[in-house]
Amino acid sequence: MRVVITGGGGFLGSHLCDALLRRGDHVVALDDFSTGEPANVAHVRDHPRFQLIRADVTNEFDVRGAVDAVAHLASPASPPDYHRLCLETLAVGSRGTENALRLAVAHRARFVLASTSEVYGDPAIHPQREDYWGNVNPIGPRSVYDEAKRFAEALTVAYRRKMHAEAGIVRIFNTYGPRMRPNDGRVVSTFIRQALDGEPLTIYGDGSQTRSFCYVDDLIRGIVAMLDSDLLGPFNLGNPREQTVRELAELVREATGSDSGLEFMPLPVDDPTRRRPVVARAQEKLGWSPLIPIDEGLRRTVAWFAPGSEESRGSAERARAMPVGY
């Protein structure tokens, strides 16, 4: 296939580029690098089946040549990013989603929306199934991201009904792995950076709130399976193993060999207290299940974050060698 990936220079988007190139697909990555990193795709810049277009998908765009599938991953995704880029987050969830859908419809291409577990808000039902409508504060500090994704889902379904778009939706739960930005505000990257720097690990609240952490390779397999299907979904993609934030901190200290202490801070407003996906639908319909345990995933992620590591050093060197404006 020839696949267009919006947000192709981001954490998840770049891993999806890699997965599709490995299996022989052609990839066109679009990114304005407002939160993505050129270093994430620097290693494939000369690949004969890879093309990078610097573009803001909230503006109308076209892609020349055949398009067999569109994966819409473009969006700020961490709290510091979508707080800083609040209007841009709403725009990419609305105009950006519609522009990506229009591209798919024009080429009769498969469309997959990367939605999020944030559509469930601070869930009143646990664990979360796809038929749960959520508990979202529409004017809270997280609302720009939550509501942008909820609108994007509604738009995707409307295009499937009205425009006969072959569209599908995946809801992504907390994902971690190499290429996360050290200062992106996500809990895994924050804990690893603090542990490697010998700083206290910052825990908001008492650390009893839970998340379910999925390693990036597992998540990408789910997105690829969705691209290859004709199903609407939505499908939860995440690891159903639930852990407290305090337990994660201990796992990170063990993975890094750090003796960093723990520092407790007030819990942010609207921070979800529990988060765990039910993935039975994805298991049944997509044949997908997460495979990589968190201790192994953290080991791989710490190896990438470690100062002077071959992975992080090579990525930075390739980024510096990229042409200006690439």
Active site residues per annotation = 145
167 close to 158: Cβ distance less than 8 angstroms = no
Q: State which H helix or E strand residue 167 sits in.
A: strand 166-172
Q: DSSP string of 200-225? A: PEEEETTS--EE--EEHHHHHHHHHH
Alpha-carbon distance of 7 to 115, in angstroms, equals 13
Alpha-carbon distance of 174 to 184, in angstroms, equals 13
Longest dimension (CA), the chain: 57
Alpha-carbon distance of 243 to 247, in angstroms, equals 6
Place of tokens 């601070």: 122
Alpha-carbon distance of 210 to 57, in angstroms, equals 34
